[in-house]
Each structure stands twice: as C-alpha cells, then as structure tokens.
Amino acid sequence: MFKEFSKDFWWGAASSGPQHEGGATEGGREPSIWDKYYEMAPNRFFNEIGPSECGDFYHRFKEDLSLLKELGLSTYRTSIQWSRLLPYGATEPNPDALRFYNEVIDTMLDLGITPFMNLHHFDMPWSFQEKGGWENRDTIKHYRYFAEQCFKHFGDRVPYWFSFNEPIVVPYIAYIGDYLYPNAMDMHRAMNVAYHTAIAHAEMMDAFRESGVKAKAGIILNIAPSYPRSEHPEDLKAARLADLFHNESFKDPSLKGVYSEELIKFMQDNKMPLPILKGDDKIIAKGKVDVLGVNYYAPQRTKAKENIPNPKAPIRPETFFDIYDMPGKKMNPYRGWEIYPQGIYDCLTDIKDNYGNIETFISENGMGVENEERFRNEKGYIEDDYRIGFITDHLNQVHKAIDEGCNCKGYHLWTFVDNWSWQNAYKNRYGYVELQLNNNKKRVIKKSGYWIKEVTKNNGYEI
C-alpha cells in the first residue's frame, strides 16, 4: 500500500545555530550559556566535547544545503544566534552576522529551500545570563529588540519565524534538573523562567505583527502527551499535572493567548506564586500564533506518588507525581526515550480537537543512536534501517492524522547532518547524513538519506 502525502508537503529537517553552526569564536560572536557552562564543567559533556566542536555550518552551509537539495528536502529550520547577531548587548547588528545569515538565507532561496528561522534554541547570550537570564524580566525587552532586528534584516525572505524552540526545556534542565547553569534545583525559579519566556514569546509575536513582515510566525513546542498508568483518580491527577507543567504552560499562551488559570492557582497554592504583573494578560493575548511546530520524541507516563516526598528536598514536578515505567514499553536504549509512534497522532489530534486545528507541522522527530559506525557497509555508508523504520512508523501516524482532518503540513527530521547534542555531544547520532568527526567533518549520506530521497521524489512510500 502506498502512503501518499500532498504535493506541497514540507519534507524537511531541523537543526539549530548552537548545535551545528560552529565558528563559536569567529565573527565577533559572544559566548552563550553553553560555551560558559562547558568552561565551568567540561566533564559533564560526553567525551568532553564542547559546543565549539560543531559541524561548521558557519563555513560549510553551502555544502550542507546542496546536500539537502540533493535529497529532495524543500524546507530547513535553523536558528539565528542572538549571541552572534547582537553580541554583548549591542544595539547595532554585527556586520559579520548579517553577512552570514543573509548568505545562508539567500543560498536556501537560490536552491529552492524554504527557510524556517527560529530565534532561541536554549542559547541565552552569556551577558544576559549573567544578569539573571529569563529570571530577570528585563531580558524580555532585549529579546524583543533582537527579534525586531531579525524581522528588519531578514523578514523579506523568511516565510516562517519561530520565537522559541521547546521553551519548557531550559526551566527543566537548568532549574529543576541538574543539567545546565545555574543548576538551581528550584521549581519556583523554573516556573518563573517559564512564565517570563511565555511573555517573551508574546512580545516576539507582537513585534512580528508590528514589523508588517509578510510571513507567518509561531513557536515550536516539545509536546509530550501525558498518559496515566490507569484510570484510578490519583493516576489521572498525576497525568493532568504532568500535562499542565510540561505542555499547557506553553500551549495555552501560544494557542489560546491566555496563561493557564489552573497553573497559576497550582503555583499559588503551593507557595510558588508566578511573577505576574498587571497587564500581563493583555501581553499574553498577543501571543497567539499563526503556525505551531510540534517536536515529538516520546510520551510522558505518570502515576500517583508511591511515597511521601522528603518535605525538605527541593520541590520538583516529581514531588507531585511519579514517572511510570510501563512494562513492555519499546525503548531507544541509547537516548533512554520511549518509542511510541501513536503519540505523534495523539499530539496532532489534540491540536485539531482542542486548539482550533491551527496550521501545524512536525518540527522535530528522530532517533539518536550510539556508535552507528558498526552499521557501515562495504560501500562506506551507514545502513540505519532502524531510523527508516522509526520515521516510517511515525509518518504512518502523521498520515492517519492528516486523513482524519489534522492540519499538519510537514515533517522535519531531527536532524539533517549529525549535530552536537548538548551534554551528549556526539554520543547519539540523529542525521540523514553522517558527520565524520575524525575525517575533516566529512558528510556521508546514510541509508536513511537515500531512502528519504526516494520518499521526497514520490511524495510517499510503500508499506
């Protein structure tokens, strides 16, 4: 049976400035929170490979984009690094950054690749992080200014803009989990950061509308559908809370233009009031997006707490519910994430049924696998059949969702060329194209790359 997609389906891939650009110290770029965190704690990064060891898109973007074209992909998302465009709080854009991003955008357009540009991918410039980052409300106006500069200089050629990639991640990894500076272990600070980020998103949308740029703007959310262990009321409550913190904290402001009253009340009741100022509701109302990017990797499974938490330990989402380790779940052992293709369908159906069926697309989905060299064949390329299987299983669910009326316009794999994965550095590889780190960063198409070339040519695949 042939699974056919629409003629104008966005077959694409996603990456980000901090993970693939490189040129970290070139062209006047300022260090971001990741560069500084690597200086502070290199041992936390796999094989001590830091953010400057990227795929060098900064110098090799023409090669990457030509390869993208060769595989028939027609859309590509990356990000403009704030730390490159306006280093050290500059008010005038850095000329080298203008040159670089202009060249990237123009090259894409020349090749017939539609640019999707994101403005923030966990990468706060260090000079703003030192002043409190997203905990400091002042950062929002600087971020808005950065967005305005992006629209002014590149708005005439970029049809899709995004305020943030996965804005709930920084609160989780830096303020609840121990994975990024300032390693706060403080849920109150985390949710303050999330709240300020939601305001920043709305400011970006407002700046976008004021700029008059003829394009669409939105946000990219890592939606993890929340499944309870059972129908027991306490399990249901656990799943509800996980959904509230992880998903609705950003779905409500960006899809409904409101901040969840339930979340506000929960934080208030638990003595962690959000830093709400008078008039914020009017700002948040401006945050309704034109387009939503859905990053889907894995669901969250939750259950009622088994034990009463230590009352003196830091408060975390898991103070209120437990993670449920469902027997028999299929796992990606390298990344430790569950593989559950139906989750992508559930995400899209939820957007259709509960959020006005807004225009959406799968902005990230993918499978990180360690030590892929073991699958290299005699022709010299990696046979990543597991990735082809993973993508097919998820695309089948996307296809079903579209058949049932979901307004989903495309599928972007994470990622195109293997890129630097934060603390995991190059442990797990995600791309259609291998990055040979020890071979002058040579790009070698994997079997999945040849496979997607056929898929893009035929607008579908046989199952």
Catalytic center residues:
166, 364
Other C-beta atoms lying within 10 Å of the C-beta of residue 442: 11
Q: Return the SS3 of 162.
A: strand
Structure tokens at 317: 């989402």
User: Which range in 88-96, 199-207, 242-250, 421-429 contacts ligand BG6 by CB under 6 A?
Assistant: 421-429
Nearest distance in Å: CB 424, ligand BG6 = 5
What letter would DSSP give residue 295?
Answer: E
Residues between 197 and 256 that touch ligand BG6 (CB under 6 A):
222
What letter would DSSP give residue 382?
Answer: B
Structure tokens at 63: 């090669």
User: Which range in 40-48, 240-248, 340-348, 420-428 contacts ligand BG6 by CB under 6 A?
Assistant: 420-428
Residues between 159 and 178 that touch ligand BG6 (CB under 6 A):
165-166
By beta carbon distance, the residue nearest ligand BG6 is 421
Single residue of 10, 411, 414, 432 touching ligand BG6 by CB under 6 A: 414
Nearest distance in Å: CB 20, ligand BG6 = 10
Single residue of 142, 246, 335, 399 touching ligand BG6 by CB under 6 A: 335
Side-chain-side CA neighbours of 378 within 13 Å: the count stands at: 0
Nearest distance in Å: CB 420, ligand BG6 = 8
Q: Which is nearer to ligand BG6, 235 or 338 (CB)?
A: 338
Single residue of 428, 435, 441, 461 touching ligand BG6 by CB under 6 A: 428
Q: Which is nearer to ligand BG6, 184 or 413 (CB)?
A: 413
Other C-beta atoms lying within 10 Å of the C-beta of residue 8: 9
What is the rounded distance in angstroms from the CA atom of residue 204 to the CA atom of residue 201?
A: 5
User: Which range in 170-178, 262-270, 404-412, 418-426 contacts ligand BG6 by CB under 6 A?
Assistant: 418-426
Q: Which is nearer to ligand BG6, 19 or 81 (CB)?
A: 19
Residue 368 as a binder of ligand BG6 (CB under 6 A): the answer is yes
What is the rounded distance in angstroms from the CA atom of residue 177 to the CA atom of residue 185?
A: 6
What is the rounded distance in angstroms from the CA atom of residue 99 to the CA atom of residue 437?
A: 27
Structure tokens at 357: 């069926």
Is the distance from CB of 65 to CB of 111 less than 8 angstroms? yes
Q: Which candidate, 439, 374, 433, 454, places its Cα nearest to that of 76?
A: 433
User: Which range in 54-62, 100-108, 286-294, 416-424 contacts ligand BG6 by CB under 6 A?
Assistant: 416-424
Other C-beta atoms lying within 10 Å of the C-beta of residue 27: 15
The single-letter code of the amino acid at 60 is R
Q: Which is nearer to ligand BG6, 235 or 364 (CB)?
A: 364
Q: What residues line the site for ligand BG6 (CB under 6 A)? A: 16, 19, 165-166, 222, 295, 335, 364, 368, 414, 421-422, 424, 428
